[in-house]
Structure 1
């Protein structure tokens, strides 16, 4: 048999009724795969934000290394993105990270509560609660799609004014 353009097309393609179930199955598998990917992405984007549990403040003198702590006191000194908090029993250096750059996050003499991790001789702040009830997260945004939404919509902790519903 001699291959001519007319015989080559019909020899390799097969009858149309044989190809149709194969193409339908391939199309259905593609739709299912797309649905799984889109559903996974939607689930990640709709995931709830990290919740924050407020702790009871302890004295600075009682801090133990490598622990989660909360300290309430007055801001004694400010050094860029760090400040010293004094609660009467002692003083501790608080690291605020990128959110505290410029020294505008707290004011000298202000009373506040700092929650974070105490290690290497200072507190790595995660949360600041001001005397007027405003709360500010010091955590960096999480990586990935949810972190992108955090960067667009603001910090993990919403600021609620005292007496406001919410």
Structure 2
């Protein structure tokens, strides 16, 4: 006779509910992680054939523009090619220097190219995110509402 009889092994009390909850949490975490990884942009999402700067206004979606950086203004810079110039909204953390050649991948909207990636002549790709919020901005920095009548 064996010491352990599997047929008599039954979960008692709240154990089945706890086991089911643990399985559901694990499935939810796995599904959430998969959804986040699928919605993140990839470096290869933008076209590699640059669009002439003069034609950016007639494009939609993700585009690439290649040129020389001629001016830098805070978190923005100007890229120029043989067809024209374009203002690029970038990030202070990933700012090319004046005179450098750069391939900008992003979206062109309302006269400004919103960079998502910068590619230098060596092929190094630098992701460009939105600028960080200013100090005190957002729901945590708003403070309490003013007193009534004041």
Q: Is the TM value for this pair above 0.5?
A: yes
TM-score (normalizing by structure 1) = 0.61
4+ runs deviating over 3 angstroms: 42-50
Retained in 1: the 8 A contact 2:101–2:120?
Answer: yes
Greater CA drift, 106-115 or 45-54: 45-54
List alignment gaps of at least 5 residues for structure 1.
Answer: 1-20, 141-166
Q: Aligned partners of 2:54, 2:75: CA distance in 1, in Å?
A: 23
More helix by share: 1
Of structures 1 and 2, the larger Rg is shown by: 1
**TM superposition score normalised by structure 2:** 0.66
- Residue equivalent to 2:51: 58
Paired residues for 1:133-144 under 5 Å: 133-140=123-130
Q: Counterpart in 2 of 1:37? A: 25
The aligned residue for residue 84 of structure 1 is: 78
For each residue in 1:84-113, what CA deviation from the matched residue of structure 2 results, as whole angstroms up to 9, or x when unmatched? 0001100000001xxx226x6211110010
**Aligned positions, number:** 115
Provide the aligned C-alpha RMSD in A.
2.4
Q: Matched residue of 1:30: which SS?
A: helix
Q: Partner of 1:94 in structure 2?
A: 88
The alignment status of 1:26 with 2:18, answered yes or no, reads: no
